[in-house]
A and B are shown apart, each in its own frame.
Chain A
Amino acid sequence: MNPVISVRNLTKTYHVGEHQVNALRSISLDVQAGEFVSVIGPSGSGKSTLMHILGCLDQPTSGQYFLDGRDVSHLSDDEISLVRNKQIGFVFQGFNLLTRTSALENVELPLLYGTGNITAAERRKRAMAALASVGLESRYDHHTNQLSGGQQQRVAIARALLNNPSILLADEPTGNLDSKTSIEVMEIFQSLQKERGITIVLITHEMDVAEYGSRIISFKDGNIISDVTNESRRHAKGELDVLPSVAEGVA
């Protein structure tokens, strides 16, 4: 089977004044469909840079990137936009939701762009379904400032899932959340992987978060220093089952 993500000799070099920053130094990597890959590494090691390239938000300095077997490293801006719209879902540390906009409208957003004519009713239906899959259907008309951080992150996940992307990219999605909410988000990720076979790349600098993934890749100074299958995987569902009332009280 062809890998969903296939990266060959990817480099990214920034020039800051006279300095040259090698954010990525010749990375090669394959991710198979249905994998849950955690990328871990210290600050500045190039994790976000990789994610931006994988998410087609940025272009590599050199090397190739195949998404679903198609070389996307040298597409035009319009083509890249369409790839982002159809094949990639993003979840960011800072949620990146539109302010003063309801949860439903935030989730609908990807459907307003891209090809195909979708009626308003259809848009709403699909957005509601996505909100339901993250357990927020009752909050559809809440504005983002009326939602907790965890709820906002779930709205962002619903938005990322709307176009049934090939990959879900998450850059420190739990960075702004407390531990219980973090586990809830991880629970959603794990069930997405298990039930819908969605490929996930999760970036974090905390090992205990990385352990929810099925495979852990460690970064250092723009290089992959290890790439292993996670033998001691954590299961968020089970943790939530034993935790709830205590965490509720603590929070």
Chain B
Amino acid sequence: MSLGNSYIIALKALRRNKMQTALTMLGMTIGVATVLTMIALGSGAQKAIQDQVKAAGMNMLVVTAGNYQAQREKPPDDAIEMGAVRNPEVNGHPHLQLALFHPEDDPFAIHDHPTARQRLGDSEAGLGAAATLTIEDANAIRKINGVQYACEGIHENVHVADGDTRWFTRVHGDDSSLPNIRRAWSFVHGDFFSARQQRKNEQVVVLGNIVAAKLFGDVNPVGKTVTLWKQPFKIVGVVTSSSWMVTPESGDDQFDAVYIPVTTMQKLLNLSKLNDITVTTSSTGDVTRVSKTIVTLLRSRHKIGGNTPDDFTVASQASKALTKGGLRPDVASAVTGNAAGLEKVTLDQLGKTLDKSSKTMTALLASIATVSLIVGGIGIMNIMLLSVTERTREIGIRRAVGARATDVLLQFILESVTLSVVGGLLGILIGVVAAIAISHAVQWSTSISPLAVALSFGISAAVGIFFGYYPAREASRVAPLTSLRFE
């Protein structure tokens, strides 16, 4: 007898008991819907934390050219300590101290291009701060295991002009991967320049939305041309912040700025070096290892031996991010409030802790869901067992007209698998709807992966087979005769 026939038989048998069929399916539907919703909530929360952590730049490192400078006056109050992972004392150079830098300070620019301060005569030559980072260095960093993106950076001030309208702003020469690093970016118009445009040193520019507003108002400027250094640049995109915490204002380093390919910038300004290289790691927990690898790599590339200090600085962005926002306030306060001695905790420990706690949550939700699945499965088993006693007569009739024991076995298994799979599919549907509804209602982000859907489907089929097998075997063992006598 064919499987097709068994299936026809099973479906007909289920149709004979519509109410029972519907109720049994309902148990399964609820089970699967719960599983899916729970997984969606759990992994949604996990993803939200990951995203926040990444958005906050906890997986970000910045390699800056230059390292130390002669000890001068007290650093400004808003200075940021660099090189958190480096020994604060510069070996063998007691008169040197770790560089503290103001965001406007630019060790590189000191040499190649005058910064605002230098132009004002506030010169501060750094020792051993010869700008040394190159695109080749960035390429070497890209090859390090665990590095997600590396982006070259050259930063300058510039006049951007559209005919007579001019705006003084920042220009960043960057790699085309920058939008992947800047997570809270969204493009109002167009897109970032492409890797191809970068390779060909094309004169293309992406405007921050502040610049776009100053020059073009509400008009979509993509396709128009602006001039930088009296050179025409074609506008390919306008970028703004997608973060609901930060509304870009003028003076903003990211959105009151324009972006051009680093290669174009080097060519036009006749530069060969970089200010910095921004690196992200694939995993938040990997920042320390990667930063050590970068130090070793660059020292060897720059042929720095023995006690000579580095000619670059590797700094992670996390401390800045945690203390200066970027993290959702509730997450940040949860982190700072719950982690005692936060300052002492290394960043990758923190990242790992966050990962772990969200995984624990997912596991917890998943186990609740599993229980409800098992309940659904037992419901099926219960009904099927009841069926076997209720339906002995039916089984006997089937055996009398020539059903083999295996035909009966197959029929009952197919019945329970149909119950669980159809119930499961409905459950997937309801689960998806519920997850979406919950994320709308309480703003808890959910994420339903195809894997979770496939898993729920697989589990419901498995439940059907597992919980259906025993009753089916009982059914197949009913002797033809006893069941016919049963009247």
Which A residues lie at the B interface, using CB under 8 A? Answer: 52, 55, 57-58, 77-78, 81-82, 84-86, 90, 92, 94, 96-101, 105, 109-110, 112-115, 117, 159, 163
Contact = CB atoms under 8 A, between A and B. Distances in A.
B400 A57 contact: yes
A90 B484 CA distance: 11
A97 B397 contact: yes
Interface string B395-424: 011111111111100000000000000000
B246 interface: no
Contacts of A58: 481
B402 to A, nearest CB: 2
Contact of B400 (A77, A96, A105, A114): A96
B401 A84 contact: yes
Nearest to A101: B16
Contacts of A115: 1
B402 A81 contact: yes
Given A57-B481, A77-B405, A84 B5 contact: no
B31 interface: no
Given A82-B402, A96-B397, A112 B1 contact: yes
Interface of B: 1-2, 5, 8-9, 12, 16-17, 393-394, 396-407, 480-481, 484, 487
A113 B12 contact: no
Contacts of A114: 1, 402
A17 B403 CA distance: 32
Contacts of B403: 81, 85, 113
A155 to B, nearest CB: 12
B404 A81 contact: yes
B20 to A, nearest CB: 11
22 contacts: A52-B481, A57-B399, A57-B484, A77-B405, A81-B402, A82-B402, A86-B402, A90-B401, A92-B484, A94-B487, A96-B400, A100-B17, A105-B12, A109-B401, A112-B1, A112-B5, A112-B8, A113-B5, A113-B398, A113-B404, A114-B402, A163-B402
Contacts of A98: 16, 394, 397
B16 A85 contact: no
Contact of B402 (A52, A94, A97, A110): A110
Contacts of B404: 77-78, 81-82, 113
B476 to A, nearest CB: 10
A81 B405 CA distance: 8
Which A-B residue pairs are the 9 nearest by beta carbons? A85-B402, A113-B402, A81-B404, A100-B16, A110-B401, A113-B403, A57-B481, A84-B402, A112-B5
A112 B487 contact: no
A97 B403 CA distance: 15
Given A100-B16, A113-B407, A90 B402 contact: no
A101 B399 CA distance: 17
A160 to B, nearest CB: 8
Nearest to A110: B401
B406 A78 contact: yes
B401 A113 contact: yes
Contacts of A57: 399-400, 480-481, 484
Nearest to B401: A110
